[in-house]
A and B are shown apart, each in its own frame.
Chain A
Amino acid sequence: MNFLRVTLIRILYAAILLIAVLVLNFSLMHAAPGDVADTIAQAAGGIDAEALEQIRREYGLDQPFLVQLGRYIGNVLQFDLGYSYFYSDKVTNLILSRLPATLLLVISAQLLALVVGVVLGVFSARKPNGILSHFVTFLALFGYSAPVFWTGLLMLVVFSLMVPLFPVAGMRDVTIEGGFFVQALDIAHHLVLPMLTLASIFLALYSRLSRAAMMEVLGSDYVRTAKAKGLSPRQVVYKHALKNALSPVITLAGLQLSAVVSGAVLVETVFSWPGLGTLAFQSILARDTPLILGILFFSALVVIVGNLLTDLALRLVDPRVGGKR
Chain B
Amino acid sequence: MTDRPLLDVENLTVRFAVRRGGVFGRKQFLDAVDGVSFALARGETLAIVGESGSGKTTTALAVARLVAAHSGRVELDGADILGLEGEALRQVRRKVQFIFQDPYSSLNPRQRAEDVVREPLLSLTDMPRDEQQKVIDELFVQVGLRPEQKRLFPHQFSGGQRQRIGIARALATRPELIICDEPVSALDVAVQAQILNLLRRLQKEFGLTYLFISHDLGVVQHMCDSIAVMYMGRIVEHGPRLSLFNNPLHPYTAALLSAVPSVDKARRAATRRILIPGDPPDPVNLPPGCRFANRCPVAQPQCREAEPELRTVAGGQRVACHLVKEDGTAPL
Contacts and interface: CB of A to CB of B under 8 A. Distances in A.
A228 B64 contact: yes
A179 B167 CA distance: 64
A323 B154 CA distance: 11
Given A225-B100, A229-B119, A319 B94 contact: no
Contacts, number: 63
Contacts of B110: 243-244, 318-319
Name the residue among B105, B112, B173 with the largest chain A CB count within 10 angstroms. B105
Nearest to B90: A230
A229 B153 contact: no
A244 B107 CA distance: 12
B120 A320 contact: no
Contacts of B98: 225, 228
A235 B120 CA distance: 12
A48 interface: no
Interface residues of B, number: 28
Interface string B116-158: 0001100110000000000000000000000000001101100
Nearest to B124: A230
Interface string B82-111: 000000001001100110111001111110
Given A244-B110, A319-B153, A228 B93 contact: yes
A220 B107 CA distance: 10
Contacts of B123: 229-232, 235
Contacts of B108: 222, 225-226, 240, 244
B105 A222 contact: yes
A229 B66 CA distance: 11
B318 interface: no
Contacts of A243: 110
A221 interface: yes
Given A230-B93, A244-B110, A323 B64 contact: no
B164 interface: no
Interface in B209-231: none
Contact of A320 (B90, B97, B109): B109
A235 B97 CA distance: 18
Contacts of A225: 98, 100, 106-108, 166, 169
Interface in A208-226: 220-222, 224-226
A225 B316 CA distance: 36
A163 B101 CA distance: 60
Given A229-B120, A229-B123, A230-B94, A220 B153 contact: no
A227 interface: yes
Contacts of A220: 105
Contacts of B94: 230
A220 B100 CA distance: 12
Interface string A70-99: 000000000000000000000000000000
A198 B56 CA distance: 52
A244 B166 CA distance: 19
Contacts of A232: 123
A232 B166 CA distance: 20
Contacts of A319: 109-110, 112, 153
Contacts of B166: 225
Contacts of B173: 230
Nearest to B96: A228
B25 to A, nearest CB: 14
B47 to A, nearest CB: 20
Residue of A225, A231, A244, A325 contacting most chain B CB atoms (<10 Å): A225
A179 to B, nearest CB: 46
B18 to A, nearest CB: 14
Most buried by A among B101, B153, B173: B153
A215 to B, nearest CB: 15
**Best-surrounded residue of B64, B110, B120, B169 (most CB of chain A within 10 A):** B110
B153 A224 contact: no
Given A222-B105, A244-B109, A319-B110, A231 B119 contact: yes
A323 B151 CA distance: 10
B107 to A, nearest CB: 6
B93 A221 contact: no
Nearest to B118: A229
B27 to A, nearest CB: 13
A318 B108 CA distance: 12
Interface in B178-194: none
26 contacts: A221-B101, A221-B102, A221-B105, A222-B106, A222-B109, A225-B100, A225-B106, A225-B107, A225-B108, A225-B166, A225-B169, A228-B93, A228-B97, A228-B98, A228-B100, A229-B93, A229-B120, A229-B124, A230-B93, A232-B123, A235-B123, A244-B108, A319-B109, A320-B109, A320-B155, A323-B156
Closest 4 CB pairs of A and B: A221-B106, A230-B93, A221-B105, A230-B124
Given A225-B166, A319-B153, 20 more contacts: A221-B100, A222-B105, A222-B108, A222-B109, A224-B100, A225-B100, A225-B107, A226-B108, A228-B64, A228-B97, A228-B98, A229-B120, A229-B123, A230-B94, A230-B173, A232-B123, A244-B108, A319-B112, A320-B109, A323-B156
